[in-house]
Amino acid sequence: AQSVTQPDIHITVSEGASLELRCNYSYGATPYLFWYVQSPGQGLQLLLKYFSGDTLVQGIKGFEAEFKRSQSSFNLRKPSVHWSDAAEYFCAVGVLGGSEKLVFGKGTKLTVNP
């Protein structure tokens, strides 16, 4: 069965520091991978997605992610974190065929210290 693991429940970084959020997936075929961000009490906003091609994907708000098939990983990175980046981040894999639903990881809460 498809699954997504986000090993870090909570990460704290200082403003201006670099960030990496980890995501590992389990999927039997070529995965469609997504990163979403959620602010408290809000829906999810798409940061970036990967389907094929270049394994380094650029997204909004200065985020990028790298797909590594050998490690079954799709880690999210940002070179310099801003206080407004504090939020919950979810990694998801798209399940093809049928309804093509998303399977989410449990999320990583990011706290940014001034």
Partner 1 sequence: GAVVSQHPSWVICKSGTSVKIECRSLDFQATTMFWYRQFPKQSLMLMATSNEGSKATYEQGVEKDKFLINHASLTLSTLTVTSAHPEDSSFYICSARDNGQALTDYGYTFGSGTRLTVV
Name the site residues for partner 1 (rule: CB under 8 A): 32, 34, 36, 41-46, 49, 51-52, 90, 94, 99-107, 109
Angle (CA) 8-101-48 rounded to 5° is 55
Question: Which residue, among 60, 56, 114, 68, has the nearest Cα to 89 in the 3D structure?
Answer: 60
Choice between 15 and 102, CB closer to partner 1: 102
> Are 112 and 19 spatial neighbours (Cβ–Cβ below 8 Å)?
no
CB 43 to partner 1: min, Å: 4
CB 51 to partner 1: min, Å: 6
Choice between 17 and 60, CB closer to partner 1: 60
CB 19 to partner 1: min, Å: 20
Q: Cα separation of 45 and 27, whole Å?
A: 23
φ, ψ at 70 (rounded to 5°): -65, -25
Choice between 73 and 104, CB closer to partner 1: 104
